[in-house]
C-alpha cells in the first residue's frame, strides 16, 4: 500500500551536515519526496509535536533540543513508507542500531540521534498535518515508479 510518512533531520543531523546523506538513503530505498523544508520549530509547535512525552523525565530536554537549531522536515511516499523509513532509521539508541541504518552509522547519543521518523500511519498523518499545509505537499508521478511497485 502506498503511504506517506514524516521524516525530520534533527538539529544535530543538520549541524553535522547529514541532510544530503539522509535524503540520498531515502531516495535509494525507492521512496519519493513529496515535501521538504528547512524550519526552526517554535516551542509551542514542539510541545504539540511531542505531546505524548509530556511529563516524562526527558521532555524538557527534548523540547530544548528540537528547538535549538534548524531541522529539515520532509514527507516521503512509497510502498509501506512508514515501515521502510523506520527500518532505514534504526533503533532510537545508536548503540543498539544496526550498522547500515542511519542511526547505526551516523548517530552518537540516544538524545541526539540525527533523525525522526513517524512510528505509525496515524502518527505520520498527525505530524504531516502539524508541519505542512496541503499546498506544500506535491502530487506527481516519478518516471521510475513502474520499476518500484507491482
Catalytic (active site) residue 116:
yes
The residue from 115, 116, 117, 128 that is catalytic is 116
Residue 90 cell numbers, joined: 534504526
DSSP for 35-100, written as a single string: EEEEE---HHHHHHHTGGGTTSTTHHHHHHHHTSS-EEEEEEEEETHHHHHHHHH--SSTTTSPTT
Cβ neighbours around 47 below 10 Å, total:
17
Contact assessment for residue 35 and residue 138, using Cβ atoms and an 8 Å cutoff: yes
**Active-site annotation, residues:** 116
Amino acid at each position: 500500500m502506498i503511504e506517506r510518512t514524516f521524516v525530520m533531520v534533527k538539529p544535530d543531523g543538520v549541524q553535522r551536515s547529514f541532510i544530503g546523506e539522509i535524503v540520498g538513503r531515502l531516495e535509494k530505498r525507492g521512496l519519493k519526496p513529496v515535501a521538504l523544508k528547512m524550519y526552526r520549530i517554535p516551542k509551542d509547535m514542539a510541545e504539540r509535536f511531542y505531546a505524548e512525552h509530556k511529563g516524562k523525565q526527558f521532555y524538557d530536554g527534548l523540547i530544548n533540543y528540537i528547538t535549538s537549531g534548524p531541522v529539515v522536515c520532509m514527507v516521503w511516499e512509497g510502498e509501506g513508507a512508514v515501515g521502510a523509513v523506520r527500518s532505514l532509521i534504526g533503533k532510537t539508541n545508536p548503540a543498539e542500531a544496526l550498522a547500515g541504518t542511519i542511526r547505526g552509522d551516523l548517530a552518537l547519543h540516544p538524545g541526539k540521534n540525527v533523525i525522526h521518523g513517524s512510528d505509525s500511519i496515524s502518527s505520520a498523518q498527525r505530524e504531516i498535518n502539524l508541519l505542512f499545509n496541503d499546498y506544500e505537499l506535491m502530487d506527481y508521478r516519478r518516471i521510475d515508479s513502474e520499476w518500484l511497485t507491482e
